[in-house]
Amino acid sequence: MSLRAPNQAAADPVEELRFAPAEQDSDGEAVWEPVAVDPSRPISQTNPPRRSPHHAQTPRATAGEVERRIAEAQLWIAQRLPLVEIRAKAGESWGVNNIKTINRYLDLARERMVEELITDRRRHQAEQIFALNECARRAMDAEQFSAAVGAFRVIAEIGGLLRAPIKPPEPRA
């Protein structure tokens, strides 16, 4: 059961992560309360304050930190790193070991990558064509002409010049 009011729209997951800290100072750093001591126990030399033994409280990520983490997750996805390695790097870089939190960042990074690919389709096509031209040039320099022809065929497909299959269908007997 949702705690939202019926007229309130579901929050964007990126915005949820961006505005995770309750408060931020003017520099965008999280403002957070330290772990509270147990008020029922008087504090003295023989009776020190109790703190949460299970985990130390860490500040929530600021808006800038969330953006950096999403960009870093995009890089790791683009590098096709194994999930185990991504989780280890997230623990080192972000100080996050919770699998659900890491998966949430990865999901958001994937969504953003798809959105960027859709919105910047022409730029991506141009980048791929440029890279394939370089590949074809190197293949020709190495006298690997079949590889060069294959690169030019893919360039033609990306550019929309080649729509039919290269080889005609084989006749059926």
Q: Which residue has the higher pLDDT, 161 or 83?
A: 83
| Chain position carrying tokens 């983490």 | 69
- So where are the chain's domains? 13-28+59-119, 121-159
For residue 74, pLDDT beyond 70? yes
pLDDT digits (tens, 9 = 90+) for 91-137: 999 988 888 999 999 999 999 998 888 888 888 888 889 999 999 99
Query: Mean pLDDT for the chain?
Result: 78
Give pLDDT, residue 130.
92
**Closest Cα to residue 138, out of 125, 147, 129?**
147
For residue 76, pLDDT beyond 90? yes
Q: How far apart are CA 120 and CA 123, in angstroms?
A: 5
Q: What average pLDDT does the segment 62-75 reach?
A: 92
User: Which residues, 6 or more positions from 166, have their beta carbon under 8 angstroms from its beta carbon?
Assistant: 153
For residue 44, pLDDT beyond 50? yes
User: Which residues, 6 or more positions from 52, have their beta carbon under 8 angstroms from its beta carbon?
Assistant: 35
